Copies of this chain bind each other. A is one copy, B any other.
Amino acid sequence: MSDEKQMIIPKEAEEKAWEIARWMNKKDQIAVNFGMKVLNVKPGSCVVEMKVTEKMLNAVGITHGAVTYALADFAFAVASNSHGQVAVALNAQIHYPAPSKAGDILRATATEETKSRRTAIYRIEVKRADGTLVGLFTGTVFRRDDRVEQWMKD
């Protein structure tokens, strides 16, 4: 999607993105309770992993749609806030092309589709370890004037 990989990212921006991601990974209660772990982050993108447990299943015994959504949503939050400007979700859409089950390791990869002063769009792919796409998420944020760093002081 974006060509950010080819661009040279200032070391400072990347370090700030990591600081924000680590802080979010500790403070976000769903990330903590579901055992999500940020594996990588760059300004505008990230990779998050999680293992599906018995507590994450729906009535028919497969991974709950809301759990797949939660993983994508946390990757969305990390990627959209990684620039330092506070980003709040306006809306999101998720497709469920295939199921997953207890024991599966799910990996969410977030990339920035577009970013303007006030809004930005992110794409998050959630895949099983065998590469099967189990969630395809598109989210839009409103970018506020305040900074994530202000929240991190508290």
Contact = CB atoms under 8 A, between A and B. Distances in A.
B138 A119 contact: no
B113 A133 contact: yes
Interface residues of A, number: 47
A24 B91 CA distance: 27
Interface string A90-114: 1111111110000000000000011
Given A93-B91, A114-B98, A140-B91, A151 B119 contact: no
A18 interface: no
Contacts of A118: 118, 142
Contact of A89 (B30, B65, B121, B138): B65
B140 A138 contact: no
B29 A58 contact: yes
A13 to B, nearest CB: 20
A77 B90 contact: no
Nearest to A28: B59
B97 A121 contact: yes
A73 interface: yes
B66 A70 contact: yes
B114 A142 contact: no
Interface of A: 23-24, 27-30, 33, 54-60, 64-67, 69-70, 73-74, 77, 86, 88-98, 113-114, 116, 118-119, 121, 133, 136, 138, 140, 142, 151
